Amino acid sequence: MTSTARRAATPRLLRRLNANLVLDALRSAGPLRVTQLVARTRLSRPTVDAVADDLLRLGWLEQVGAAPGAGPRRGRPARLLAFRADAGYVVGVDIGEHTVRVAVADLLGRVVAERRHGLAAHRRGTGPPTVPHGSERLELVRRTAAATLADAGVGRDDVLAASVGCTGGMDAETGAVLFTSAFPGLADVNLRTELEGTLGDTVLVENECNLAVLGERWQGAAVGVEDAICVLAAERLGAGIVVGGTLVRGHAGLAGEMPFLGAYEFVHGAEGIAYLIRTLGTEAAAAGRLAGHEAAGLEAEAVVAAARAGDPVAIEIVERSVHAAGRAIVVMALVLNPELVVIGGGVAAAGDVVLEPLRRQLEAMVRMPPRLEASALGARGALVGAIRHALDHVEPALLAGLEEVA
Amino acid sequence: MTSTARRAATPRLLRRLNANLVLDALRSAGPLRVTQLVARTRLSRPTVDAVADDLLRLGWLEQVGAAPGAGPRRGRPARLLAFRADAGYVVGVDIGEHTVRVAVADLLGRVVAERRHGLAAHRRGTGPPTVPHGSERLELVRRTAAATLADAGVGRDDVLAASVGCTGGMDAETGAVLFTSAFPGLADVNLRTELEGTLGDTVLVENECNLAVLGERWQGAAVGVEDAICVLAAERLGAGIVVGGTLVRGHAGLAGEMPFLGAYEFVHGAEGIAYLIRTLGTEAAAAGRLAGHEAAGLEAEAVVAAARAGDPVAIEIVERSVHAAGRAIVVMALVLNPELVVIGGGVAAAGDVVLEPLRRQLEAMVRMPPRLEASALGARGALVGAIRHALDHVEPALLAGLEEVA
């Protein structure tokens, strides 16, 4: 059967599938000659030539010069083809409670520029310290994004897609924040509308835990794992869930969001855990049980360091402090029976200390418990996932132009 | 493009797809003429004729006589074709703690015969009442299945697939029981091996909650719902989960199995709930707070009936008794954000009384709470799901013979 006959059968679908095969080969292997592409894709040489012509015309490939060495003596010269990773860019944004992160990446997902803007807490009147929210926070996001794009030398119109992660429930269809207990000022705000002036015409909006699990599956601890949960113990505790390789968003996009679980006293994010460690540590130090530590001004980090050094009292304090988060992880493991649970967010940094007690808790409560690992991406998990999310959106769009060429 | 040319492109796949279209049309609409099949399937007449010939030869269709009315004057006469629902049978089995249920259905899923065998608890020595387990229970399953097949006039070799549901973790690959806290005697038993002598060569083994959610999606409260949980409050509380229309089994097939949650004191099955209702009701009656009821010998059903009649004390007792199950449902709703939660199993019968307090609990704790409904299938949910499960297995197998004909 000739390639022409196959095209005739379902031309659009086949052209896309063939183009995808060629793009995938070039993205993963770097520049290749047509003969190498034929070998890798198992497409015929005329098909590869036709696909290459289409993709060159669309601007997704470039000819990086005739291949060195002897080309065939007849017919076309051996072209060396390369994926144009700089034919466009994507932007990932993570709007955290205390930090805004922005990264610009090329079409291979390589970060070209990245910025992080800490949001210092400040007191208003006699209340607790607050961090900026609402329009003030959005302005910081815009400024950080603009600065990162400038660092990368990338203009708004070169951004093929941006993905913005935020705590809370996001309406992925409209780009609106459904709710976010962390940033009351952002509730009902449409992040797409607010940010497309800076980030280009395609702004995706997604829950940060969902982005974190995409990040872990792409470059983190969950590579190759089909059933994984990424628990983001950052400001609060939430989970991104992948079942059978597919992100579980839930009926209204709220899967893994546990804003009310506080009422069950079993959910604390990193801040709750740090608070417990500091409080219990201060009590222990005051009672003279935490050797070498004063009660006054004791920080959670010092207790974690003591636990890491083997101090039994510090170890017990860490265990008690992570127990509540452990219960939430136990519940999720029972409901979903995942292969792997990744601990991401702020707690990941203390992974060596907190993982062991969490593991014991899982083993005591869950039959066939999942593996438990700390994120290798740490606080960057959602940002890396945002890049992956934007790339996932761009890749089918790359081929949309195929219908128009030839 | 002719039908022949399309066959040439990917002959196996297309023949199967075409055969499926024809089978689906005949299964849903009943007997049809070829011209009606052409209109419904949008296949060409020669294709429909070819597919019909194949399926007639395989025995899945039958010609129910020339169609009444004028056929075409030239060419083939107008054949009236029908799906042969009796070309084979499936068997559904639900091994419950107190009941074994078996149903034999035809290939349209219509139940031909059904039996239910109650397992009376009996005391051994001074211990609590026990129900038969292990080999004794398997023997009951075999006897009930053989009797139901005899009722249906169906021999073992006419059973194209059987699906067996059981509480606990099942290894769907091997057919072995991984664990089942309800039936210690069945742990590590291979249900497939034990039952294939009675149920035929294809015995599927599945967790009963997973079957229950399949049943609800097929004929129950979750028809057309893509994200649903069926909570089986029977002997204990477990859940069958469907996300995006696909059953979530988990990495080791244990998703929704919560054997250890008792330690968190928030899981009770129907028996736990009935026990609480009886205990609290007896207390209230003894204190003279439950009008018209004596403390001695008070049954849970009487308290439920009083709640149904509007007695405020009885209503409060029911509320307190279902609260623990409600917490488990809240947790699952937060983790999965389903559209619908179906309450199945023994509690479904008291749905009108228990749903309202559960609904209030969900509304208080879950943003955008799922709809909550009682199963219309009740205690038969897992059995109906087992029939669906077996049919799902048979349907692709129907077409396996296509490669051999013609």
Cβ–Cβ gap B257/A179 under 8 Å: no
Q: Report pTM.
A: 0.83
- In the prediction, which pLDDT does B401 show? 73
Structure tokens at A358: 């969490």
A238 touches chain B (CB under 8 A): no
Per CATH, is A223-376 categorized as 3.90.650.10?
Answer: no
Q: Which of A354-363, B88-97, B221-230, B235-244 has the least mean pLDDT? A: B235-244
Q: Quick check: B4 pLDDT over 50?
A: no
Measured CA to CA, the distance from residue A114 to residue A145 in angstroms comes to 9
Instruction: Give the gap in angstroms from C-alpha B178 to the nearest C-alpha of chain A.
Output: 10
Backbone angles phi, psi at B266, to 5 degrees: -125, 10
A13 touches chain B (CB under 8 A): no
pLDDT per position as a tens digit, B324-350: 788 888 888 989 999 999 998 777 778
Radius of gyration of chain A (CA): 25
Measured CA to CA, the distance from residue A377 to residue A230 in angstroms comes to 11
pLDDT tier for residue B120 given thresholds of 50, 70 and 90: low
Nearest by CB to B335, from A1, A327, A335: name it. Answer: A335
A5 vs A286: which has the higher pLDDT: A286
Q: 3-class DSSP state for residue A16?
A: helix
* β partners of residue A230: A240, A342
pLDDT per position as a tens digit, A359-385: 999 998 888 899 999 998 988 999 999
Cβ–Cβ gap B257/A367 under 8 Å: yes
Measured CA to CA, the distance from residue B176 to residue A181 in angstroms comes to 46
Cβ–Cβ gap B370/A251 under 8 Å: yes
Contacts of A239 in chain B (CB under 8 A): 335
- Average pLDDT on A390-402 reads 85
Chain B residues 263-292 with CB within 8 Å of chain A: 263-264
- In the prediction, which pLDDT does A9 show? 37
Q: Which of A240-254, B111-125, B293-307 has the least mean pLDDT? A: B111-125
B187 touches chain A (CB under 8 A): no
Query: In this structure, are residues B210 and B240 in contact, taking their beta carbons and an 8 Å threshold?
Result: yes
Cβ–Cβ gap A367/B249 under 8 Å: no
B383 vs A378: which has the higher pLDDT: B383
**Alpha helix locations (H) across B161-225?**
191-199, 208-219
Question: CATH class for domain B3-84?
Answer: mainly alpha
Place of tokens 């599938």: A17
Q: Quick check: B7 pLDDT over 50?
A: no
Q: Which segment, A231-235, B54-58, B152-156, is predicted with the most confidence on average?
A: B152-156
A5 touches chain B (CB under 8 A): yes
Place of tokens 């003030």: A136
Measured CA to CA, the distance from residue A232 to residue B274 in angstroms comes to 38
ipTM: 0.79
Contacts of A10 in chain B (CB under 8 A): 9
Q: In percent, how much of chain A has pLDDT > 90?
A: 56
A171 touches chain B (CB under 8 A): no
Matching fold, domains B89-216+382-397 and B223-376: yes
- In the prediction, which pLDDT does A406 show? 44
Sort B132 into a burial class: Cβ within 10 Å, 0-12 / 13-18 / 19+: middle
B183 vs A342: which has the higher pLDDT: A342
CA-nearest of B294, B274, B276 to B285 is B294
Q: Quick check: B265 pLDDT over 50?
A: no
- In the prediction, which pLDDT does B261 show? 45
Cβ–Cβ gap B337/A258 under 8 Å: no
Measured CA to CA, the distance from residue B70 to residue A131 in angstroms comes to 81
For residue B264, the one-letter residue type is: Y
Query: In this structure, are residues A160 and A396 in contact, taking their beta carbons and an 8 Å threshold?
Result: no
Measured CA to CA, the distance from residue A351 to residue A376 in angstroms comes to 10
Nearest by CB to B248, from A239, A249, A336: name it. Answer: A336
Structure tokens at B381: 């949910």
- In the prediction, which pLDDT does B266 show? 40
pLDDT tier for residue A272 given thresholds of 50, 70 and 90: confident
- In the prediction, which pLDDT does A127 show? 53
pLDDT tier for residue A169 given thresholds of 50, 70 and 90: confident
Nearest by CB to B255, from A10, A246, A337: name it. Answer: A337
Residue of A nearest to B254 (CA): A337
- Average pLDDT on A48-52 reads 93
- In the prediction, which pLDDT does B74 show? 55
- In the prediction, which pLDDT does B216 show? 97
**How many CB atoms within 10 Å of residue B307?**
26
pLDDT per position as a tens digit, B183-211: 778 888 999 999 999 999 999 999 999 99
Measured CA to CA, the distance from residue B109 to residue B394 in angstroms comes to 11
pLDDT tier for residue A257 given thresholds of 50, 70 and 90: confident
- In the prediction, which pLDDT does B330 show? 87
Q: Where are the domains of chain B?
A: 3-84, 89-216+382-397, 223-376
- Average pLDDT on B96-124 reads 86
Residues in chain A: 406
The torsion defined by the Cα of B358, B364, B369 and B372, in degrees rounded to 10, comes to 10
Handedness of CA B84, B88, B93, B99 (dihedral sign): positive
A370 touches chain B (CB under 8 A): yes
Measured CA to CA, the distance from residue B386 to residue B165 in angstroms comes to 7
- In the prediction, which pLDDT does B127 show? 53
- In the prediction, which pLDDT does B224 show? 95
Measured CA to CA, the distance from residue B370 to residue B372 in angstroms comes to 6
- Average pLDDT on A237-264 reads 80
Average pLDDT, chain A: 85
Q: 3-class DSSP state for residue A225?
A: coil
A368 touches chain B (CB under 8 A): yes
Measured CA to CA, the distance from residue B7 to residue A79 in angstroms comes to 36
Measured CA to CA, the distance from residue A275 to residue A262 in angstroms comes to 15
Measured CA to CA, the distance from residue A175 to residue A205 in angstroms comes to 5
- Average pLDDT on B165-194 reads 88
- In the prediction, which pLDDT does B182 show? 72
pLDDT tier for residue B397 given thresholds of 50, 70 and 90: confident
pLDDT per position as a tens digit, A92-136: 999 987 889 999 999 999 999 999 998 765 544 555 555 556 788
- In the prediction, which pLDDT does B187 show? 81
Give the architecture-level CATH label for domain B89-216+382-397. Answer: 2-Layer Sandwich (3.30)
Instruction: Give the gap in angstroms from C-alpha B329 to the nearest C-alpha of chain A.
Output: 11
pLDDT tier for residue A229 given thresholds of 50, 70 and 90: very high
